[in-house]
Structure formats: structure tokens, C-alpha cells
Structure 1
Amino acid sequence: MELSSSCPCCSGQSYGECCYNFHRGQAAPTPEALMRSRYSAFAVEDADYLSATWHSQTRPQNLTLEPDTHWLKLEIVDSSEKGDEGKVSFVATFREKQEWLRLNETSSFIRESGCWYYLDGNASFETFKPGRNDACPCGSGQKFKKCCG
């Protein structure tokens, strides 16, 4: 991904100004920053970063990313931090093959030795079918038929 491209996490910054530094080893300062950087890691298919930021107690031994999954939009619903624990609720819109889905999740994070880690999440998925004249689910502001449709 180009460093000057919009960051996949929908922060409004470029990838180089936002999640790229986390993907290269800088510690995320908050649970929300870690959530955004993990979302971006899914979008750019950086499985190593996802594994490195997943707490060792809950991290899967093998993490495989689906090549037919295209992450399109992240919306942070709520974010909180209390001591060394954090929660982030979000909605992520993505497409797998020709199916449109939304992931609704509240993720738990824990800070150890100054670094935040993803612990686990309470997730649900919903499928949807955008109408031709609906706003595009990718967040471009265009109609679906002129964008991803």
C-alpha cells in the first residue's frame, strides 16, 4: 500500500501518517489506535502484525487471512480505557467474494509492559445487499452503482 494513500482505518490520515508506523513496530498508545491498526493490518494482509498484537493467552497458533476478503470501512462506535484494560466497539464493512457483510464487535484489550494487546472480542456478522442507488458501503460518498457496484 502506498504511504500517501488514505489509511484503511478511515482515520482521515494517510497510511504513512497513521497505521504504517504501528505496523513497523511503534507501540499503539491506546486501545482504539491498536484496533484501527489491526483493522488496517487485515486490509493490507499483514498477518505478522496481527499475531504480534494478539495477546499470547488467546492468540491462535496459525493465523491465515482470506485472500478473497476486502475490508472497506471501519466505524468506531465506542472506545474506553480504564487502567490497563480497554474496550473498543466497532462496525467493519467488508466483502467476501460477492457477499457484503458487517462485523459488529466489542473487543477487549490489555496493556502489559507498556504495550496494548488484543485479548478477545464479542462478534456478530450480518449480511446485506446494497441497492444500486444506496450510498456505497465503502464510505466513498458515491452511489453504490457508481462505486463498488
Structure 2
Amino acid sequence: MGKRILFTDQKSWSNEQIILAYRSQSQVENAFADMKDPHFLSWEPMFHWTDSKIRVHAFYCVLALILGSLLQRRAAQNGLSLSLQALFKALNGIQEVTNLFPPAGKPGSPGRPHVKTTLTEMDPTQQALFRFFALDRYRQT
């Protein structure tokens, strides 16, 4: 087991606050690493050439990172500690399927089809996320 010496200019902080701030550094580093992943919160590829469009692209990337981090924090507060990528992968797997059934009566008869929406099967992690984030309120009825 190694030892570390932490230096700070925050004289009013307690030892616990200093250690927590140091440990949270890895969360910030992980967030920037996530921005390099082409599938989640990607900074690249950037198909913009004007400064204003690059700034908007950067704003969207940082906004997505903040929103993702808030989701990650809320999941952790509910006892589900996931990386940002694992969280997005689990949420992406929660899907709603709309099935259209032919109208009742003779085949080919006019009428409105019967519509039924269902959720795909969810694993326990997805079920927990569905419950934590109250995703049921977004289902089509």
C-alpha cells in the first residue's frame, strides 16, 4: 500500500474535505476520457469550421456530460453505482415497441388497427433505472 502527501492552499478545509476533493479528481478525469469515446458524449468527429458552430458543439458536449453525470449521481444515490458508459448502455437498452394489429372483423375490412405498446425485457439494472428515473411517465398510452 502506497502513501500520498496532499498539499492544498485551502486552509479552512478539514482533512476529510481535502481527501474527498482529491478523490473526486478521478471523476473529472473520467468525464473527459468519456468525451473521447465516439459512442458516448463524443467531442469528435466535429464537422464544423466556423468558431460559432465549434462553440455550440462544445456547449452541447459539455451539457451532455453534465446531464449524464447528474443521472450517474442520482443512480448512485439510489444504490446503483455505474460508469457513465454502463449507465448509457443500460438506458439505451430500455426500449418501447409499438405493435399494430389489424382491425377486428373480416381480413381486409376497413377500420383502425389496434395499437399496443410494450417495453422490451429489462435486466435488473434496467428495471432499477426505470424505477429511479420514473421513466414510466414517458410511455405512450
Both proteins in one fold, TM over 0.5: no
Structure with a larger share of its residues in strand: 1
Q: Tell me which of the two structures has the higher relative contact order, counting C-alpha pairs closer than 8 angstroms and 6 or more residues apart.
A: 1
Structure with a larger share of its residues in helix: 2
* TM-score bracket for the superposition, by shorter chain length: under 0.3
